Structures are given as C-alpha cells and as structure tokens.
Structure 1
C-alpha cells in the first residue's frame, strides 16, 4: 500500500511538473509572471513561531527581497514529517508575484533557507505557478 501511495505521488508530481513547464499565453494588457506560494509551519522545537518573530522575519528577510508587495495569510496546516508522523500546526501562507528571473528565484530560495534555519524547520513548502497579471 505504501509503495502504491509513493507511486501515485510521483505520478501526480510528474503531471504537475509537465503542466508547469508549459508556456503561459497572456492576453493583451497582461504580463507573464510567477506566483510563488510558500507555506511556513509555526511549530518549532521550543514552542511556536510567535507573531513578533514572524513580523521580524517578514521585515528583515522577506520585505527587503520583495519590496514591491506580498500577501500573508494565517492558516491551519497538516503534513507528514520525515519520521512518518502527521504534524498539525498553525501555518503562515506567503504569496509573492514576481518576474521569472534568476534574482527572484534566488530571493525565494533565500527566504525558505532563512526560515528553516532560524526556526529549526524541516521544510518550507513552495508552490510555483506561471500566471498572467494586470493592474
């Protein structure tokens, strides 16, 4: 059963990757962009990431890399840890819309690495989507 689940997960991931690699055709007046959604779990070995800690992280790590804007939402999440246990925790969801370029890619990677290091996290989930935007 476990092998079947793993195979299904690989198949889903392959399908998502194939879809993500397709070019996005934007309409007149729209620009092509990337929307990154990052999921930050709040549980840490010595408690939880406090509102003050998150605010400092946002101000010192995220905002300098994406000063043009971002959206943060509070959520409840669940995921399976590396040890196989189900983890339920408060989660912050960060949405970033940015160009599909190397500096933006580096900034997203730095944000994820900084959060994992600062708050002893096993992972930060990233969902990367090609999209069209207009103002």
Structure 2
C-alpha cells in the first residue's frame, strides 16, 4: 500500500509541475510566410495521375524504381518543385484490343497547385512525356477542387 501511495504522490507532483510551468506557447496550425505554401488558398486543385509501370505479377518487367525516379526528377519535379506525393498502387487496365484487364504495378502522383492554364499545361506535358517514354495509351488524370492549407 505504501508503494501505491508513493506512486500516486509522484504522479500528482508531476502533474502540478506541468500546470505551474504555464500555458504552451501559441503555435499556428498552418505554415506562415511562404508564398509557395500558403496558409489559405483559393482556386487550387488536387490532381492525381496514375502511371502503369508494368505487370503486377512480374515486377522485373516494365519500369524500374530507378527509371521511375529519373522520370519524376526530369518531368515532374522540374515542373512542380514545391511538393508532391507518390503512392504505390495496384491497378487494372483493359485496352481497346484486350479481352481482359491487365494487372499493373502502378504509381499514383498527387499534386496540389493553383488552377492556372500554365499549371494545367504542365500536367498535360507530364502525361505526354510518360506516354512517349513508355508507349502507354493513357495516363489517368483525376482533378478536383481542393481546399489546401500548409
């Protein structure tokens, strides 16, 4: 019983010490003073691009991780250097001449940006560059309005 009381006294002392140190400093939940990453945005969009890298069951075929990163550096990061996300995904695609879907190891690229004609052109240039590099028929694009805060 004496150990339990000692533990209780120690816990209460620690809690009182935390209260005595005063309130935590005020911190904003958003990044401040960075024009590329505003605290509040207007007219921004979320674009997701889906890139098929090769057969899901045969990762040695198709585009390697090193080739993907080289493409990302050259074609994507050069156009959108302020930030992006890449997510490994599994996808299926059935081309016009196919009788069943292909199972694909894929990458989903997520980019948030101001919705301008210049940025839309950059997105299209990325899609064209991938199709030229790989011979793929398509790069799926999904774009929707986004309420963004950094």
Residue 30 of structure 1 and its aligned partner are, at CA, apart by: 4.4
- TM-score when normalising by structure 1: 0.74
Report the secondary structure of 1:122's partner residue: coil
Report what 2:18 is aligned to: none
TM-score (norm 2): 0.67
- CA–CA distance in structure 1, aligned partners of residues 87 and 143 of structure 2: 17
Gap regions ≥5 residues in structure 1: 1-28
The one of 33, 38, 62 equivalent to 2:44 is 33
Which of the pair has more CA radius of gyration?
A: 2
- Stretches of 4+ moved more than 4 A in 1? none
Question: 1:49-84 CA distances to partner (integer Å, 9 max, x unpaired)?
Answer: 100100100011100100010000001101221213
Of 128, 139, 149, the match for 1:124: 139
CA distance in 1, matches of 2:54, 2:41: 39
What is the Cα-based RMSD across aligned positions, in Å? Answer: 1.9
Measured in 2, the distance between the counterparts of 1:30 and 1:56 equals 31
Q: Which has the higher strand share?
A: 1
Counterpart Cα distance in 1 of 2:143 and 2:106: 18
Aligned residue runs from structure 1 range 21-60, under 5 A: 29-43=40-54, 47-60=61-74
Separation in 2, partners of 1:30, 1:100: 11
Given candidates 78, 88, 98, the residue that maps to 1:64 is: 78
Structure 1 distance, partners of 2:41, 2:67, is 36
Could you tell me how far 1:121 is from its partner in structure 2?
0.8
State the Cα deviation string for residues 74-107 of structure 1 (Å, max 9, x = none). Answer: 0110122121331111000000101110110000
**1:113 is aligned to 2:128:** yes
CA–CA distance in structure 1, aligned partners of residues 50 and 96 of structure 2? 17
The one of the two structures with greater contact order (alpha-carbon pairs below 8 A, sep at least 6) is: 1
